[in-house]
Amino acid sequence: PLNATEQYKFTRRQLQNLISRSRSRLGSFVGDITRHYMRYHADTEGFNGGYLHDPIAVAVALFPNLARTRKLHVEIETRGGITRGMTVAHLRIPHRMAVPKVNVVESIDVERFISLFNRRVFAR
């Protein structure tokens, strides 16, 4: 969920520093394709950077021990006017009719993720 992937804010300054030190073509590409995404966060959330939702999801898929998970019953809200399309995990009480089957990420090892991401994207 977003609360797990938003544990780490990747700033434009960090990105530019990594690009200048590595001269990686992939790193430069990441810089180019994230420019507008990072500007959006500067305009709407007050920081020039972005969240790495997809890279974190891929990293957890490849390295499950990168995350702390909790098995929960999860449903997709299909009727709510505000919540339509959202996943809803039953956190407070066990759902009476369903067995928890989904490993929901509660937190990630941010330092380890950063190390993995930087080595793979900005390696020479």
Task: Specify the pLDDT at position 86.
Answer: 87
Question: What one-character DSSP code corresponds to residue 7?
Answer: T
Contact between 112 and 60 (Cβ < 8 Å): no
Half-sphere exposure at residue 7, Cβ-oriented, CA atoms within 13 angstroms: 18
- Entry pTM: 0.83
Taking CA atoms, 90 is separated from 40, 68, 74, in Å, by 32, 17, 6
- Coil, helix or strand for 124? coil
Digit-coded pLDDT (tens) for 9-38? 999 999 999 988 887 888 889 989 999 999
